[in-house]
Amino acid sequence: MLKIPKTIYDQMLAHARDEAPKECCGLLAGKNGTAEAIYPMTNIHQSPVSYMIDPKEQFAVFKEMRAKENELIAIYHSHPATAAYPSATDVRLAYYPDAVYIIVSLENPARPVMNAYRIVNNTITPEEFEVLAS
């Protein structure tokens, strides 16, 4: 089960709110399924319905993860106006089968919803996560 410290959980929510009405995106790194670092990334699509992480930022973050002996444990993005469920595009572009995909929905901005999934071979499987007290 993925474990996310409350500070990182709160940062994902804040990132989604700050970028709305565009989708936000970012990475979580850590060890043994526990997030230790959050990397808010630039959505080069600047779109309310899609995202693409800036490749230069991604390369730099992966290099930093290796240096810290962390691994990519999750990729997050927001759905500013739709449910926290992977879209057909999300499934098609799920290139990291070992990562958890987290979606933050701001469909109801007063009550954001965060869900997590594994996406492997076009199959979506809900993934439980625990928010750890910080």
pLDDT tens digits along 4-26:
999 999 999 999 999 999 999 99
* Residue 47 confidence class, pLDDT cut points 50, 70, 90: very high
CATH number (domain holding residue 92): 3.40.140.10
Average pLDDT over residues 66-82: 97
What's the pTM?
Answer: 0.97
**Is the previous residue joined to 21 through a cis bond, with omega within 30 degrees of 0?**
yes
pLDDT at 134 over 80: no
| Structural domain for 88, as ranges | 2-132
Task: Give me the numbers of helices (H) and strands (E) for the chain, helices first please.
Answer: 3, 8
What gap in Å lies between CA 81 and CA 114, rounded to an integer?
A: 13
Number of domains observed in the structure of the chain: 1
